[in-house]
Each structure stands twice: as C-alpha cells, then as structure tokens.
Amino acid sequence: MEFLVRTENLLPVDTSDEIREKLRAAERERAMELREAGILKRLWRVPGRNATIGLYEAVDPAALHDALTSLPMWKWMDVSVEALAAHPQERA
C-alpha cells in the first residue's frame, strides 16, 4: 500500500557544517537504499522549506514506520503520514 509522507527537518540551525554534511550524506545513502527496496517511490521538496513530501510503499504502517525511523535524520524530523487508497481508475 502507498502512503503520502511529509517531513519537516528541525535540525538545529547551529549544527556544525561537519555534522550537517555527515548527516546529509548518510540520509541520502539510506534514502537510496529505500528507493532500491521499492519503499521510497517519489520525493519532492516543499519549496522554500527544509521539508519534503514523499510517496512511499510498504506492506503496512508498521513497516513504513520502520523505514522512516531508519533515516539518520529521523530524530530531528516532524513526520506526518497519510494512508492512500487505490483509486478505481487505477485499480486495473
């Protein structure tokens, strides 16, 4: 099943560039793994914000939770999840 996931990244402004870069690289790497696993399907930026909207696929909300909390930035993120129902136009 698919989920719409919003994240706001609340990493403190005074985080050192070094830590920030390390986190970003690790985040990107983990995101790529989630893409390869077919869990992260699309990702957009909310323009002007350190925030994203993503389309995820997981067997159930618990599996999605595990995927999201595996992101290195997760503990600084405010996340909200919306379960999506397949639309009859796309239920082939």
Residues that bind a second copy (CB under 8 A): 1-5, 13, 28, 31-32, 35, 42-49, 52-53, 55, 60-62, 64-65, 68-69, 75-76, 78-91
Q: Least separation, in Å, of the C-beta of 85 and a second copy?
A: 4
Taking the C-alpha atoms of residue 50 and residue 73, their distance in angstroms, rounded to an integer, is: 12
The two three-digit tokens of residue 47, written as one number:
């323009």
Identify the CA nearest to 34 among candidates 3, 8, 12. 3
Q: Least separation, in Å, of the C-beta of 75 and a second copy?
A: 5
Please answer whether residues 83 and 64 qualify as being in contact, where contact means their C-beta atoms are separated by less than 8 angstroms: no
Q: Least separation, in Å, of the C-beta of 37 and a second copy?
A: 15
* Spatial CB neighbours of 17, under 8 Å, sequence gap ≥ 6: none
